[in-house]
Structure 1
């Protein structure tokens, strides 16, 4: 239903339109208050790159964070990552995250990023505190923030927006009548626009997600997708149909498709109840980090890698690297 409303296919968005106007006025005033110095924002002592989006829902932002961190690591840069930690609740913040940190404390995405990149990760509702925790931990050349485009209390040096190329901006309205956190004109002020799937426009970077082999949650054994039989597919991400479509593109037609809410907290009993005899469970890697503590032999996950193409990719990476090098030189002068 929400997709129909946000796409404009359902007239119910008109009933929510007054609330969208309120949302838009409030969010615009917040942004202006920081831009004009009416509210204080904090500049970190190292460069900050924000990877965010203009819309609610899954756009593929976390795979981009992982891709960027790995690309910068290959260039010899020491990258830290900060996140709000949606879906987690720690006793105290900031929380330093490792691949072994419970997702109930850190949230699923920070644990996944730490697991895939090996980079230091910190979460806190106030991202300034997370950045400070990373800097206190050790030598960091720059910080990448997972989400936070609208978190203007933290100043940034570069902004990258990820767009779902199939859904783009729906009806174009602010929440809740539409999917927008900020209007599309905000793209005019960012440094790069990455489009996940669909068709790119001028100056946009094309992105696709490439699936690897399925990985068993319990044994870490890998297996070709085609070797899995009687698959029950589940996804608790921002846009579950993307995962189900990926499976079909690789020749897997699930016997059942089950969509959970983003950041859903799973239990062994809940997931075991999804399977009949002879079936196996196939989930996203983001779901898997929440299920590893009670994994069963017939549970698998599918890792994906973001691939960015186009002439703007190399200049983007070079720009960020040069930003860091300049900052380091200026700091020692």
Structure 2
């Protein structure tokens, strides 16, 4: 798989040998999407889907986290739904809190529950997850003290068209783009590039300026370090002034089980830290023997939820924040008000 992924972004020609499989994939995907669109049932609150058109990590979860926080300041009460990748296959909706076991419900939902203080529900069926958030009995039982949701944000799920949506945001990795522009398995795309022309907003993660991606203007987005968090004590420190030391002789053990580990490692080097790279598969469930004792260990917030039960005081998570132009948030806020008004009067 790693060789194929490298070929997608390097201009290699040999993946074209898989073109007949791509044709079949696109045919089956269109058929499945048409079926799911026909099954859509309206929800009484606005739904935002934050997704991507390619496989691999692009920064969706940090964006969901940021949207929850900023929209709360605008008076919204968002709830988050997720499929719970990396967790157990669930037979129904499950409420997630910051104390939930990532092995059961997935790492990203636990991370989002901790970062946002928003109600989070996971389910293989995203529509069912959304209905659970809006069910008074389920909500009051699982999220006491929270105000009922008037907005749902789906972490991923662009291709899960059985979930109705009012606004779609797509995130593209600015450095990798859409690769060779082909769909699986010839290229990295889950659906054709022209899908970008149908969504409400395209963001280029890692860009300082607007980019043209497949004929669509992509707005700049950055993942900026927020703070260092000690896994054992919970203490936080400024990202620019880490409370630990690294050197060429004693580099930190840097680990990342995310869709694009290299982005995390580059961030650490931009912070002028000496590191030893240790990439793991996305959603990897760590065992304590995989992480060394007595060394400074650096990881993402997504990895941290799986290591906290056996962490040491030398284990640190770097929490990051998605940043976009403020006017995009203002535009989104007014779009949501329009959608909510339409639903109430429709």
Contact 1:99 / 1:112 at 8 angstroms: preserved in 2? yes
**TM-score where L is the length of structure 2:** 0.88
Q: Does 1:286 align with 2:302?
A: yes
Name the residue aligned to 1:303: 319
**1:246 maps onto 2:267 in alignment:** yes
Counterpart position of 1:172: 181
Tell me by how many angstroms 1:12 deviates.
Answer: 2.9
The 5 A counterparts of 1:256-275 are 256-272=276-292
Q: Is the 8 A contact 2:44 2:343 kept in 1?
A: no
| 2:49 equivalent in structure 1 | 50
What's the secondary structure of 2:118's corresponding residue?
coil
Change (3 A) 1:250 1:58: same
Q: Deviations over 1:158-192 (max 9, x none)?
A: 11111111111000111112110011100111111
For 1:246 and 1:304, the matched residues in 2 are separated by 10
Q: Which moved more, 1:76-85 or 1:17-26?
A: 17-26
2:74–2:333: 8 Å Cα contact kept in structure 1? Answer: no
Q: Structure 1 residue 321: deviation in Å?
A: 3.5
How many residues are paired up? 322
State the alpha-carbon separation in 1 of the partners of residues 307 and 234 from structure 2: 13
Structure 1 segment 1-333 matched on structure 2, within 5 A: 1-35=3-37, 37=38, 40-89=39-88, 92-136=91-135, 137=139, 139-198=148-207, 199-201=209-211, 203-223=217-237, 224-225=241-242, 227-229=244-246, 230-254=251-275, 256-272=276-292, 279-309=295-325, 311-328=327-344, 330=345
Q: 1:226 to 1:9 in 2, by over 3 A?
A: farther
SS across alignment from 1:22: helix
Does the Cα contact within 8 Å between 1:192 and 1:316 map onto a contact in 2?
Answer: no
> 1:213: how far off?
2.8
Structure 1 residue 325: Cα displacement: 4.6
State how far apart, in whole Å, the 2-side matches of 1:104 and 1:191 are. 34
Distance in 2 between residues matched to 1:105 and 1:140, nearest whole Å = 24
The 8 Å contact of residues 80 and 144 in structure 1, kept in 2 or not, is answered as yes
Residue 29 (structure 1) shift: 2.0
Q: TM-score, normalising length from structure 1? A: 0.91
Judge conservation of contact 2:78–2:153 (CA < 8 Å) in 1: yes
SS of the residue aligned with 1:303?
Answer: strand
Structure 1 unaligned spans of 5+: none
Q: 5+ unaligned residues in a row in structure 2: which ranges?
A: 141-147
Q: Distance in 1 between matches of 2:63 and 2:182?
A: 25
CA RMSD between the two structures: 1.9
Aligned to 2:145: none
Q: CA deviation at 1:226?
A: 7.1
Conservation of the 8 A alpha-carbon contact between 1:225 and 1:250: no
> Deviations 1:72-103 (Å, cap 9, x if unpaired)?
11111111111000000166421011111100
Q: Do 2:90 and 2:124's aligned partners in 1 also have CA atoms closer than 8 Å?
A: no
